[in-house]
């Protein structure tokens, strides 16, 4: 059976408030990267980014524990990198490599486990931050919000941010 990838989900399909806050976070990340550049440990970028969030009055939790469930039983726990406004996850990286499929798959699994629609991967290790920005969506959550039957397939969509 041939696999057909669905067309990309337009960013307009997301909640406008969620889109606005995620864009603000991306803007803060750009400012942090302009000021610090690549080369520091992940925790330096997390502290700088959370400082921007504090200044903007945006609520977040760093390393927030999220349960992992299997058949309605908790089978583990994962710590979400940066949980913003109780709405989406930001995974901060500081590695000198491109964001790969495994990074996207890991974040998508976290989104599914936490029942969230959006996650961002921000890799401050890139020379140009726009090369280290990826938006990852949870198609199960988006389909449920639209009233479609859940897809359990990997008909997922990744969107490199257009900033």
- The predicted-structure confidence for 66-107, as pLDDT tens digits, reads as follows 999 889 899 999 999 999 999 999 999 999 999 999 999 999
pLDDT at 9: 55
69 in a structural domain: yes
∠ Cα 28 32 27 (to 5°): 20
84 in a structural domain: yes
6 in a structural domain: no
152 in a structural domain: no
118 in a structural domain: yes
Tokens of 97: 């490599």
67 in a structural domain: yes
80 in a structural domain: yes
Sign of CA dihedral 93, 61, 139, 68: positive
Domain extent for 56: 15-147
Q: pTM for the whole thing?
A: 0.81
Sheet holding 73-84, edge to edge: 60-70, 73-84, 88-93, 118-123, 133-137, 158-160
Residue 155 confidence class, pLDDT cut points 50, 70, 90? very low
Residue 35 confidence class, pLDDT cut points 50, 70, 90? very high
Of the two residues 41 and 16, the one the predictor is more confident about is 41
Give me the residues paired with residue 76 across strands: 68
- Count of the separate structural domains present in the chain: 1
60 in a structural domain: yes
pLDDT at 13: 67
Domain containing 34 — which CATH number? 3.40.1350
Place of tokens 């726009």: 130
């Amino acid at each position: 059976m041939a696999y057909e990838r669905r067309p990309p989900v337009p960013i307009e399909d997301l909640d406008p408030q969620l889109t606005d806050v995620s864009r603000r976070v991306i803007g803060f990340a750009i400012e942090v990267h302009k000021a610090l550049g690549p080369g520091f440990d992940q925790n330096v970028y997390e502290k700088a980014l959370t400082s921007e969030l504090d200044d903007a009055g945006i609520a977040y939790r760093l390393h927030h524990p999220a349960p992992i469930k299997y058949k309605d039983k908790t089978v583990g726990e994962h710590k979400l990198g940066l949980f913003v406004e109780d709405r989406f996850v930001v995974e901060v990286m500081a590695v000198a490599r491109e964001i790969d499929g495994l990074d996207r798959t890991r974040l998508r699994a976290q989104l599914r486990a936490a029942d969230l629609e959006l996650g961002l991967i921000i890799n401050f290790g890139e020379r140009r931050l726009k090369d280290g920005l990826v938006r990852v969506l949870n198609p199960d959550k988006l389909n449920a919000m639209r009233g479609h039957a859940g897809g359990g397939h990997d008909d997922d969509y990744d969107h490199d941010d257009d900033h």
